[in-house]
Amino acid sequence: MSAPAPLLAVEDLEVRFAPRGRRGPVVQAVAGVSFSLQPGEVLALVGESGSGKTTLGRAILGLQIPTAGRAVLDGVDVTERPARGPQSVHALVQPVFQDPYSSLDPRWAVRRTIREPLDAQQQGTPAERDARVAELLDQVGLTEAHGDRLPAELSGGQRQRVAIAAALAPHPRLIVADEPVSALDMLVQAQILNLLDDLRRELGIALLFISHDLGVVRHVADRAAVMYRGEIVEQGPAGEVLQHPEHAYTKALLAAHPTVPAPPSRPTNHPH
């Protein structure tokens, strides 16, 4: 029996940045990366700052034009300029960024932020969009009262819940989460990670989880891909990569975090 087709197939993707002006070398941020992601799977991209993992995520989101290669999501090449035009393509993949405060419009109430992707893609009637916003607030552990608040009136964890709700609004197949808990304290980190895991299992959404934190990766990922200088140097089941690394760079990462602690398990899921 043939293997099921992946939801996401990244093939020889490269991103190079030309120097400003005429001086300086071309920087190759992503160097011929290939990997696949199945529906409902969590793949962690692991590496230090500057390894290329965020640039790779931005290319998959359509925020960075690759120099070569492609990323095919649900049969659509999202790295081609013409493919990024249709609104339905934008709905396939949504981001959750590291700092929810900077990714939310400070002038918009929570309700408007969550509804904005639905309005932009004209999904459903106005009444159906309102109902969808109420459903999403409940799914991420917020109340109707939170819908009327501004980002400044929320805690960091609550703001990240809003960002997750907005990402879920257009029913994406894939979420690219770039260091989504690194700005939060340990207790709130665990709550957000558990929320993402619950939503992934409930909705069948795949997750590309970008992180430098091996403890977090151990907690959330099915598979891990280790990036170094723009290349994936090792990938496989997360437990296998973290417990029996083969590449020298992976070993160095683990040596810097010898215990690879997991976050606290399943605290009470209050929306802090």
Whether 56 contacts 4, CB under 8 Å: no
CATH class of 8-234: alpha beta
Q: Is the pTM higher than 0.75? A: yes
Residues of the chain falling short of pLDDT 70: 1-3, 21-22, 81-90, 258-272
In the prediction, which pLDDT does 4 show?
78
Alpha helices in the chain (DSSP H): 53-60, 87-92, 100-103, 110-120, 126-139, 156-168, 186-203, 214-220, 238-243, 248-256
- pLDDT tens for each residue of 233-263: 999 999 999 999 999 999 998 888 765 444 4
Whether 35 contacts 206, CB under 8 Å: no
Question: Where are the chain's structural domains?
Answer: 8-234
In the prediction, which pLDDT does 269 show?
52
Number of neighbours of residue 107 by Cβ within 10 angstroms:
8
In the prediction, which pLDDT does 257 show?
73
In the prediction, which pLDDT does 121 show?
80
Closest CA to 13 of 65, 63, 50, 90: 65
